């Protein structure tokens, strides 16, 4: 029998950003096939000069203290290359944010000791690589104030991202699947409020039932914030004038082959979530803001307290999926804002600020303008940290 490789022991850490970083490192190690620390150190010889010892790599996974930023990013680069199905650049961006949050948590912790910080001999003497420029960290765990909102509780939030890239009878939208996956990642905890285990991505659903089952489940479980996001073709019902969401087998002349938006609206309104957000990236999506003809509930979704409706275009406009771009126009701008932030903006971006930035960019590019309706204070819903925020220590 061969020798059994022992797993690296996880350090004992309290819940918080440093534990999130440690858990993410161990999860990435598992997905990469659990290479030994000697294997990782050997792979780093071509990346770091001088290369780290295998002991230093071992410490990165097992010690309580915050690891060196540059070593962390290089180890992530090595492991992401070995893990099947992971994008190296996206993983480096994700760990860049995790490390920044952990560093900020340490700065704000009055009980932190020298053992929680790197000793001078372990600090890297090199400047960070330009490819991984770390934003100034933002704490998501500090108490809320009038100037510093905090993100919704990820344990009590649910999200469903669904859409269609391949159609049988309509023009296919090949940029939709990547957009949905990357948007879900951009809104994932800890930089967003939606934990991966409570977020669903559904691409090319074969039937309305499959979509509505997921939507109904998320609506029933959400207590803090519910987010539903659709990307694909939007159609207008020839009889009622209502918005329908096109499924893979939908036909423009056959209204019954599409998912009526009103069913999504009903599920949202029945949810016990304190805050409900529906975002539609499709043609004529602004029609969702209109009342339902002949309905016993004529109010549009955004007419109900605690709801936000954000649409890619007005009720009369076509949404864009520019050829050669990795995402649709609307989803692409949203991903870019969440991933790169808003210069000069606050530490946490609320949905109103994100909407106005998307509106400004669309106007500058002469593209269809997004629309938003928010009830009460819902426009101030914190949605993600701002990577462009520059933390200034108190004087």
The structure tokens listed for 24 are 């993410």
pLDDT along the chain (395 residues), means of 10: 58 88 91 88 80 87 87 89 82 86 69 45 36 36 46 93 97 96 94 93 96 95 96 92 95 94 91 94 90 43 71 92 94 96 91 94 93 82 88 49
Q: Which domain holds residue 321?
A: 154-385
Q: Cβ(170)–Cβ(248) under 8 Å?
A: no
Question: Do 264 and 379 belong to one domain?
Answer: yes
In a domain, 78, yes or no: yes
Question: Do 27 and 94 belong to one domain?
Answer: yes
In a domain, 377, yes or no: yes
Question: Do 184 and 37 belong to one domain?
Answer: no
> Pairing relation of β-strands 225-231 and 275-281?
parallel
Q: Cβ(329)–Cβ(320) under 8 Å?
A: yes
DSSP strand E in the chain: where? 158-163, 199-203, 225-231, 234-236, 243-245, 259-260, 275-281, 307-311, 348-350, 371-374, 382-385
Question: Do 362 and 308 belong to one domain?
Answer: yes
Question: Tell me, what's the pLDDT at 124?
Answer: 36
* pLDDT tens profile 120-162: 334 333 333 333 333 333 334 333 334 456 889 999 999 999 9
In a domain, 5, yes or no: no
Question: Do 370 and 280 belong to one domain?
Answer: yes
Instruction: Please give the radius of gyration of the chain, using alpha carbons only, rounded to the nearest integer.
Output: 23
Question: Tell me, what's the pLDDT at 376?
Answer: 67
Give me the number of domains the chain comprises. 2
Question: Do 235 and 351 belong to one domain?
Answer: yes
Question: Tell me, what's the pLDDT at 261?
Answer: 94
pTM of the model: 0.63
Beta-carbon count within 10 A of 12 CB: 8
Furthest-apart CA atoms within the chain: distance in Å: 73
The structure tokens listed for 340 are 């790169």
In a domain, 266, yes or no: yes
Q: Which of 110, 138, 169 is a domain's end point? A: 110
CA distance 288 to 277: 13
In a domain, 139, yes or no: no
């Amino acid at each position: 029998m061969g020798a059994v490789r022992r797993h690296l022991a996880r350090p004992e850490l309290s819940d918080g950003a440093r534990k999130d970083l440690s858990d993410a490192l161990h999860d990435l190690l598992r997905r990469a096939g659990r290479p030994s620390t000697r294997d990782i150190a050997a792979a780093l010889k071509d990346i770091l000069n001088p290369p780290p010892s295998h002991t230093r790599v071992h410490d990165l996974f097992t010690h309580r203290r915050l690891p060196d930023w540059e070593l962390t990013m290089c180890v992530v680069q090595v492991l992401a290359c070995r893990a099947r199905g992971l994008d190296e650049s996206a993983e480096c961006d994700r760990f860049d944010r995790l490390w920044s949050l952990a560093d900020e948590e340490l700065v704000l912790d009055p009980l932190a000791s020298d053992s929680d910080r790197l000793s001078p001999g372990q600090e890297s003497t090199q400047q960070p690589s330009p490819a991984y420029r770390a934003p100034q960290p933002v704490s998501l765990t500090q108490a809320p104030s009038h100037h510093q909102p905090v993100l919704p509780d990820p344990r009590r939030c649910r999200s469903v991202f669904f859409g269609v890239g391949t159609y049988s009878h309509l023009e296919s939208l090949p940029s939709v699947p990547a957009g949905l996956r990357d948007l879900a990642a951009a809104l994932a905890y800890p930089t967003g409020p939606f934990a991966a285990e409570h977020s669903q991505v559904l691409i090319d659903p074969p039937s309305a039932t499959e979509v509505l089952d997921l939507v109904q489940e998320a609506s029933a479980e959400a207590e803090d914030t519910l987010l539903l996001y659709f990307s694909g073709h939007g159609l207008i019902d020839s009889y009622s004038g209502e918005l329908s969401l096109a499924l893979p087998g939908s036909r423009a002349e056959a209204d019954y082959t599409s998912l009526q938006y009103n069913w999504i609206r009903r599920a949202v309104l029945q949810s016990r979530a304190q805050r409900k957000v529906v975002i539609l990236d499709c043609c004529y999506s602004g029609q969702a803001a209109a009342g339902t003809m002949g309905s016993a509930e004529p109010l549009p979704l955004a007419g109900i307290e605690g709801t936000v409706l954000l649409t890619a275009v007005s009720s009369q406009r076509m949404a864009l999926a520019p050829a050669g771009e990795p995402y649709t126009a609307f989803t692409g701008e949203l991903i870019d804002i969440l991933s790169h932030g808003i210069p000069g903006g606050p530490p946490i971006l609320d949905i109103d600020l994100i909407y106005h930035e998307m509106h400004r960019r669309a106007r500058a590019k002469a593209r269809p303008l997004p629309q938003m309706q928010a009830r009460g204070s819902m426009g101030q819903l914190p949605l993600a940290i701002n990577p462009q925020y520059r933390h200034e220590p108190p004087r």
